[in-house]
Each structure stands twice: as structure tokens, then as C-alpha cells.
Amino acid sequence: MDKFSFARRTNWQQETNALNKAFEELQAQGIPVIDLTASNPTSCGFLYPEGMLSVLTKEENFHYQPDACGMVSARKVVAQHYTCQQLHVSPSDIVLTASTSEAYSFLMRLLVNPGEKVLIPRPSYPLFQFLLEINDVAFDYYPLQYEGGRWCLDLQALERLVDAKTRAIILVNPNNPTGSYISRAELNFLNEFCRKHQVSIISDEVFFEYSLIPSDAVSCAGNKAILTFTLGGLSKTIGLPQMKCAWILASGPQEALKESLARLETIADTYLSVNTPVQNALSVWLDYAPEIQGQIISRVKANWQWLSDHLNEHAELLSLQGGWYATLRIPAIKSEEEWVLEFLREDHVWVYPGYFFDFEREAYIVLSLLPPAPVFQKAVGLIMKRLSKI
């Protein structure tokens, strides 16, 4: 029989990579591995109040009243949540989705024709390649530069990369894994840049509330200068990725805003993917946001502080302003993959190699700051001990 032909966009490499292979080998031998790539908050020992679960048993969950953009009551709760950022937001500018990933897909369907492109940051969130390719969207990376102990947008590179096919620029604010926020000056530049080139902004702000130090960070939520889509969601805001609810907050010049919301409504209506129990639980859940964020922020800050106090001369901790990750620059005497394999096989500690996030140069490793302090400290101790053998 002839080989079955699948769509080219799914021609991904299927083999297990060397790091996963090494991890599986250790698992097969029953050797415990300390996982410093852990980014799932529900497996990092945080306490989720009982009241969050009981709200799911409400009688009204038996009634289905579909609303393409999400139930008005739920959108009102999300709008209200933005008052934490001193922002007045209208529920009618919000579209609920099942995840931020789905929100990206909706926005690609809204903004980008096949063959057109978006600009994405580098280093950044590794899922972009898939999210864009699945939607037949081309992309160019724009670099984030680490200068004077701070990450910033390479404004000249943006000017070089933009062309008539560019439809949107994606920001991750704060970025994963660099933990860097967009500054007021950068947003001012972007507004002018996007106006000039007829490009919209998509700002992924899932980590926005995880600010670790006072900074000049600005949110794109409510940005009116150009068409802007700000993304948020429960996976980070209340640390519950499995509850599957995220949102797009649209803002911008009136006419384009109105038109984009009407089109998004039709896209969302085609899927109706946000479930009713979660929407009914939203008001209770978002009331718990400060409590859950408080636990996560204190864990992240404590691990970050401990890391910075226990570095040796072979590890430089890059500055960060927010988020859940720390980046270490380590000597490029071997490749990132060799380093990460060595930590894994010899020390049974699993960290991310920088290339996972498309760092332009080697050698970087990225550590999740979510694991409980004793676990994190033990793993960092082992990493430093290995580096000290250089």
C-alpha cells in the first residue's frame, strides 16, 4: 500500500531527543531525578483552598446557555480582575478561550493569511513554532538583548525584520524564561512602529502578576494607540492549568477594535470551547488569586535568593524582573546539550538547555523556581559542585 500522505504542516520530527532518552533510561533504572524543569504548579506542593473545588458542584452547571465570547457574568469577573492593575476594562472587549494556546490560534485566524508572518521574541516560549506552524503562519525571530544587566528589545532588528507581510508582533510580558517586562519607552516605540507598519500587538501577559522586584514594567492591557490583544489565563493567574480558561482582552482604535471583536466572536462561536462549570466558578476562583500568587511568589523569591547566594565563579545569574524561571550562563567549554546530559546522568538533576528557548548563543541553562526549597537547594548544590570541577 502507498504511504499515507499527511498535511505537510505535521511533518514534525518524531524521535525522542537525547535528553528525554537519558531521562527515560534513569527512570527505567528506578533512579529518582530532581526535576528543575517543573513548571506545572499543581505538582509543586502549593496549597489550593478547598473552596475552589466545592464551587464546581453548583446546580447552575446543568444549564447550558452558550455565548460565543464567554458568559457575560464570567467576562465581567475577568474585567473586574483588571482593576488590580488599576485598569477599567469593558467585559465586551473580552473573549474567553480554553487556553492561551487557543487564544493564539484564534488571533492567527483573525489576523494572518497563509504566507503572511508575525514577529516573535528570541529567546522565548518554545511553543510558538508549533502554535504558528499549525496555523500556517510564517514567523521571524526578533532578538531580546541582554545589555548592562537588563533584557531589552532590539529596536533596530525590529525595523529590519518588518515588511509588508508582517501582521503582528508577539510580546511575552514578562518573557519566559528571561523574566523581562516591556518598559514604557519600549511600548511607546512599539506603538509608533506598529502604527507605521500596520501591525497589531499580541501581548502574552500570563505571568504579569508575578513581578519579583519593583520595575518600570507596563502592561499592554487597554493599550489604545493600536490594535492590541492582551492574553491572560487561569494557568498562571491561579496556578490551575487544568481548568482550561484563558482570555483575550482587545483594545485599540474604535473602528478596528469593533471589527476585530465581531470577527473574533464568529471564530469563538465556531468552537464554543469554554466549559460552563469553569465560567461559573470564575468569580470565586479569582478571589483566591492573591492567596495562590502569594504562595508562588514567596517560593520563587526564596529560591531565586538562595540561588543568587550560592553561585560559584562559573555561573552567572542573569537578572530577572518577574516570572517563574532563572537563567544561568555557564562556561561554553561544552555544548548546552552535553552540560544538561551530564547534570542528568551524573547528578540526576534535570534542567532546561538554553537552546530549548532559542537563546542565540551557548551556554545557558534555565531552572524553574517553582520546586519546594529543599528540592531546589539540593539540585542547585549539585549543579554548583559539578561546575566547580571545571
Ligand X SMILES: Cc1ncc(COP(=O)(O)O)c(C=O)c1O
CB of 170 to ligand X, least distance (A): 10
Element (H, E) at 326: strand 325-329
Taking phi first (over 0 means left), then psi (-120 to 50 degrees means alpha), and beta for anything else, what does residue 199 get? beta
Report the residue number, 101 or 377, with the smaller CB distance to ligand X. 101
Angle between helices 276-287 and 289-309 (to 10 degrees): 60
Using CB under 6 A as the binding rule, whether residue 233 contacts ligand X is answered as: yes
Q: b/e per residue, 46-84, with b = 16+ CB within 10 A?
A: bebeeebeebeeeeebeeeeebbbbbeebbbbbbebbee
Using CB under 6 A as the binding rule, whether residue 183 contacts ligand X is answered as: no
CB of 104 to ligand X, least distance (A): 8
CB of 99 to ligand X, least distance (A): 3
Peptide bond into 174 cis (omega under 30): yes
Using CB under 6 A as the binding rule, whether residue 235 contacts ligand X is answered as: yes
Using CB under 6 A as the binding rule, whether residue 241 contacts ligand X is answered as: yes
Using CB under 6 A as the binding rule, whether residue 204 contacts ligand X is answered as: yes
Using CB under 6 A as the binding rule, whether residue 172 contacts ligand X is answered as: yes
Nearest alpha-carbon partner for 75 in 92, 97, 88, 63 = 92
Instruction: Report the alpha-carbon distance of residue 55 to residue 121 in Å, rounded.
Output: 39
Nearest alpha-carbon partner for 234 in 281, 301, 198, 179 = 281
Per-residue binding letters, 352-381, with ligand X (x by CB under 6 A): ------------------------------
Instruction: Report the alpha-carbon distance of residue 262 to residue 264 in Å, rounded.
Output: 6
What is the number of H-type helices and E-type strands within the chain? Answer: 13, 14
CB of 3 to ligand X, least distance (A): 33
Report the residue number, 299 or 387, with the smaller CB distance to ligand X. 299
Contacts of 91 (CB under 8 A, 6+ apart): 72, 75, 76, 78, 79
Instruction: Report the alpha-carbon distance of residue 86 to residue 89 in Å, rounded.
Output: 10
Interface with ligand X in residues 64-103 (CB under 6 A): 99-101
CB of 235 to ligand X, least distance (A): 3
Report the residue number, 162 or 171, with the smaller CB distance to ligand X. 171
Burial (CB count within 10 angstroms: exposed 0-12, middle 13-18, buried 19+), residue 143: middle
Report the residue number, 340 or 370, with the smaller CB distance to ligand X. 370
Report the residue number, 172 or 315, with the smaller CB distance to ligand X. 172
Using CB under 6 A as the binding rule, whether residue 219 contacts ligand X is answered as: no
Q: Which of 82, 125, 247, 350 binds ligand X (CB under 6 A)?
A: 125
How many positions of this chain bind ligand X (CB under 6 A)? 13
Beta carbons of 35 and 375 less than 8 angstroms apart? no
Report the residue number, 97 or 166, with the smaller CB distance to ligand X. 97
Instruction: Report the alpha-carbon distance of residue 86 to residue 234 in Å, rounded.
Output: 20
Using CB under 6 A as the binding rule, whether residue 173 contacts ligand X is answered as: no
Q: Which of 71, 119, 240, 246 binds ligand X (CB under 6 A)?
A: 246
Q: Which of 52, 137, 206, 297 binds ligand X (CB under 6 A)?
A: 206
Report the residue number, 96 or 315, with the smaller CB distance to ligand X. 96
Using CB under 6 A as the binding rule, whether residue 202 contacts ligand X is answered as: no
Phi, psi (deg, nearest 5) at residue 235: -60, -30
CB of 110 to ligand X, least distance (A): 17
Radius of gyration of the chain measured on its C-alpha atoms: 22
Interface with ligand X in residues 300-339 (CB under 6 A): none
CB of 39 to ligand X, least distance (A): 6
CB of 117 to ligand X, least distance (A): 20
Interface with ligand X in residues 18-57 (CB under 6 A): 39
**Which of these ranges, 84-92, 233-241, 248-256, 329-337, lies near ligand X under the rule CB under 6 A?**
233-241
Question: Which positions touch ligand X (CB under 6 A)?
Answer: 39, 99-101, 125, 172, 176, 204, 206, 233, 235, 241, 246
